[in-house]
Structure 1
Amino acid sequence: MLKEKNFYKEGLPVNVITADIQEYPIHFHDDIEVVYVLKGTVKLKNGYYTYTLKQGDIFILNDREIHSFYHTDEPNMVMMLQLDLSYFSKYYGNLKNSFFVTDMEDDDDESLEALRGILARIMLEVLKKGYGYEYKIIEGAHNLLANLLANFQYFAMEDGRFVNEAKNMGNKVLAGRLNRITDYMYENYTRRLTLNEIADREHLSIYYLSHVIKEATGLSFQELLSFIRVEESEKLLLGTNKKIGVISEESGFSAIRYYIKYFTKWFGMHPAEYREKYTGRVSSREISAQYTLSKPDDILAAIKHQSKEIYTSYEREQGPALTIVNLDLDEPLKHMKDVECGIRDLFSFSSMAPGAFAFNMLTALNEHVIAAGENYIITRLHRGHSDKDAFSILLYNNNDKIMELARKGLSLEETQNRLVEFQDGSEILIKISGMNGQYQISRYKFSKENILMSYKVKLGISNALAKRERLTSRWATTPTVDFTTVTTVDTLSIQSNLKGFSAELILIDKKG
Structure 2
Amino acid sequence: MNTSPVQSITKIENTPLSISVYSVKDKPLCMHDAGTLEIIFCLTGTIKFAYAYEEFILNTGEYVSVDRDAYYLHSDGYNMCVSFYVDLMWFEKKYPNIKHMLFVCEGCKETTMPYPTVYHDRLRGILIALLKFILDGSLEQDAAKITQITESITDLFVHHFDIIFFHSGKTEFHEEILKRNQEIYAYIDKHLVETITLKDLSSHLGLSSSYVSEFMRKVSIGFRQMLAYIRANKSEWYLINTNYTIVEISEACGFSDPQYYYKAFKEWYKCTPKQFREKYINQSQDNMVYYEPYVIRTIVDNLLIEHYMNLFLE
* Same topology, TM > 0.5: yes
For the pair 1:155 / 2:152, whether they are aligned, the reply is: no
User: How do 1:341-420 residues align onto structure 2 when only pairs under 5 Å count?
Assistant: none
CA 1:48 to 1:214, structure 2 compared with 1: closer, same or farther past 3 Å?
farther
For normalisation by structure 1, the TM-score amounts to 0.53
2:96 is matched with which residue?
A: 93
1:32 matched to which residue of 2? 37
Offset of residue 6 of structure 1: 8.5
Q: Which residues in structure 2 correspond to 1:40-59 (within 5 Å)?
A: 40-59=45-64
1:204 to 203, 207, 210: 207
Q: 1:141: how far off? A: 0.5
Matches within 5 A, 1:87-486: 87-103=90-106, 104-107=113-116, 109-130=117-138, 132-153=141-162, 155-157=164-166, 165-168=170-173, 171-217=174-220, 219-282=221-284, 287-288=285-286, 290-293=287-290, 299-308=296-305
What residue is the counterpart of 2:69 in the other structure? 65
Q: Which has the higher contact order (CA 8 A, sep 6+)?
A: 2
Aligned match of 1:16 in 7, 12, 19? 19
**How far is 1:148 from its partner?**
2.1
CA distance in 2, matches of 1:147, 1:213: 23
If you compute each CA radius of gyration, which structure gives the higher value, 1 or 2? 1
1:418-449 CA-partner distances (Å, limit 9, x unpaired): xxxxxxxxxxxxxxxxxxxxxxxxxxxxxxxx
In structure 2, the CA distance between the partners of 1:114 and 1:99, relative to structure 1 (3 Å rule), is same
The structural deviation recorded for 1:82 is 0.4
Structure 1 pair 81–163 and aligned structure 2 pair: CA distance change class (3 A): farther
Are residues 272 and 43 of structure 1, via their aligned partners in 2, closer, same or farther at CA, if it must alter by over 3 Å? same
Distance 1:46 1:198, change over 3 A: same
Greater share of residues in strand: 1
CA distance in 2, matches of 1:296, 1:86: 25
Which amino acid counterpart does residue 198 of structure 1 have in structure 2? L
Q: Deviations over 1:252-311 (max 9, x none)?
A: 1111111112222223333233323332225xxxx44x3223575762333333322888
Shift of 1:229: 1.0
RMSD over aligned CA atoms reads: 2.8
Q: How many residues align?
A: 296
8 A Cα contact 1:101 1:153, kept in partner: yes
Partner of 1:359: none
Describe the SS at the equivalent of 2:186: helix
Q: Which ranges in structure 2 are unaligned for 5 or more consecutive residues?
A: 107-112, 310-314
Q: CA deviation at 1:155?
A: 2.9
Shift of 1:233: 1.0
TM-score normalised over the length of structure 2: 0.83
Find the aligned partners of 1:38 and 1:96 in 2 and give their Cα distance: 29
Structure 2: distance between partners of 1:182 and 1:138 = 26
Higher percent of residues as helix: 2
Cα distance change, pair 292–115 in 1 and its aligned pair in 2 (3 A): same
Percent identity (aligned): 25
The alignment partner of 1:22 has SS state of: strand
Distance 1:82 1:297 in 2: 18
Give the secondary-structure state (helix, strand or coil) at the position aligned to 2:282. Answer: helix
Contact 1:40 1:75 in 2 (8 A): yes
The change in CA–CA distance for 1:205 and 1:76 in structure 2 (over 3 A counts) is: farther
The residue type equivalent to 2:290 in the other structure is: L
Q: 8 Å contact 1:248–1:255 — kept in the other structure? A: yes
Contact 1:98–1:183 at 8 Å: present in 2 too? yes
3-state secondary structure, aligned to 1:101: coil
